[in-house]
Amino acid sequence: MDSLEHQMIESLAYCFYLADGRPEGKAREHWLEAEELVQAEEQFEVEASLASNILGDQAVVEPEMPGLFVETRCF
């Protein structure tokens, strides 16, 4: 895991912690959830890149994947 990926997971896990009401003892759960989302998004980007290489100049239509969006800002 590179530093940027680690930072993304850390930020997202913290967002989950805040959204969950700052509970005690759920850090691992939040981390694993964030890690899964970041890795799924990275896999999606790799697959989209491969598809665009295969299709050449044709536009790649991204499938609808509700809930698969990593937002690293918490408000």
Query: Quick check: 43 pLDDT over 80?
Result: yes
Q: How many residues does this entry show for the chain?
A: 75
Domain ranges for the chain, please list them: 3-55
Per-residue model confidence as pLDDT tens digits over 3-25: 889 999 999 999 999 999 999 99
Query: Quick check: 70 pLDDT over 60?
Result: no
pTM over 0.75: no
Per-residue model confidence as pLDDT tens digits over 28-41: 999 999 999 999 98
- 58 in Cβ contact with 68 (< 8 Å): no
Of the pLDDT bands very low, low, confident and very high (cuts 50, 70, 90), residue 48 is: confident
Whether the CA torsion 48, 51, 53, 59 is positive or negative: it is: negative
